[in-house]
Amino acid sequence: MHVSKTYLGQNTADNAVSTSAVTANADGSVLERLEYVQTVLGGGAASMLTVFSDSETVEENAVQFFNIGIFDRDAGAIASASIDITGISAVMEKSTGGGAFSSVGITQPTFAKTNGSVYCAYQFLASEWQTGDMYKLVVSGITATIHSTTSYVPTGVWSNVVVETEDIKNDVQYLYAVADGGTTYPTKVIDNSILSLIMTKQSGGDTSDFDNSTDSLEAIADAVALIPVSTGAGTLQIKATTVDLQQAAGSYTLFTGTTQPVMVEKLTLALPNVNVSDDATITYITVQTDHATPQVIFNSTTGAKANLTAEQQLSWNGPPIYLPVGKVIQLTIAGGAADASTVCNVAAEYRAVAAGGTLS
């Protein structure tokens, strides 16, 4: 048998003859057909990957970016030199009112290339496009050389609707942008809009009497800040003061019942970052009222010098004390003054028995 008839079956290292010169041919010999199958399955076309940008709505007069990503599955982005756009066809067409697409009167896009990409930045000119138009962009004729094989990029088609930026303004004009006609600021809130109904209690949302110097959120916040703390009966109130323990032995007024009686519910005395527990002359402090029978808040045990350490807090939580008008809560220093300035913060929580009662 002639050796040429054993290329496919002779089990030798080189099959007795080199077949490297066999070319791909879909209609040729068995070897040529196998070469063709190998080229199709493992050649450039099979290695090419393309990714197209999304078809998005576009705004009138805006610039939209269209992109075709071209990649080699094995090597990544295909070099620009291996991408051929000399035969590219890029046609932009418009459909108005559901009519047929046409490129008449439409500026056509110009595509460029870079590594791994064929792209175009296209402006939808307001003179050519109007709200509701449909655009359709068809791009074809791009090739890329991969593994010495010419591969054809699939045709790209983008299509969507054109919207107008002004439409957004029209949609939100009920928040702003249409003059109300009033003489006060602002003059650009339409009557019966959401914003106007927030701004005014007038029927139909008429904001012509809106005055930002008194009606704005800032003005309202400023006014609220000036409202005095409620002194209604039963309303929780807080009063704060300070007292220095570096004073001679004696009693010092902390709070005085004013206008109406109050019920004192809690009191806290917070020492500063000063240690009094090792001072020379002070022996203790107490806090009590000046009733004929004093109502004791802190006795000499609670206020003993040993307890007066740096940043210590003495707290009392009742039972509540009835403090008539003119009666006081006082702090008593026993023994003598603290060695150094010891300014304590004192806060009392209380409620008025009758409207207007406070601590001063």
pLDDT (tens digit per residue) in 191-240: 777 777 777 777 777 777 777 788 888 888 888 877 666 778 888 999 99
Q: List, for residues 253-274, the tens digit of each pLDDT value.
A: 999 999 999 999 999 999 999 9
Domain boundary among 164, 182, 201: 164
Total domains, the chain: 4
Residues 241 and 280 in one domain: yes
Please indicate, yes or no, whether residues 306 and 210 belong to a single structural domain of this protein: no
Residue at 230 is within a domain: no
Query: Within a domain: residue 158?
Result: yes
- CATH number of the domain that residue 100 is part of: 2.60.40
Are residue 251 and residue 293 in the same domain, yes or no?
yes
φ, ψ of residue 306 to 5 degrees: the values are -60, -25
245 and 202 belong to one structural domain: no
212: number of CA atoms within 13 Å, CB side? 7
For residues 79 and 38, what is the distance between their CA atoms, to the nearest angstrom? 24
Closest CA to 297 of 288, 306, 308: 288
Q: Which domain holds residue 329?
A: 236-359
Confirm whether 231 is domain-assigned. Answer: no
Helix (H) or strand (E) holding 44: helix 44-47
188 and 151, same domain (yes or no): no
Q: How confident is the model at residue 166 (pLDDT cuts 50, 70, 90)?
A: low
Q: Does 335 lie in the same domain as 248?
A: yes
pTM: 0.42
Looking at the fold, whether 220 and 287 belong to one and the same domain comes out as no
* CA 350 – CA 348 distance, rounded (Å): 6
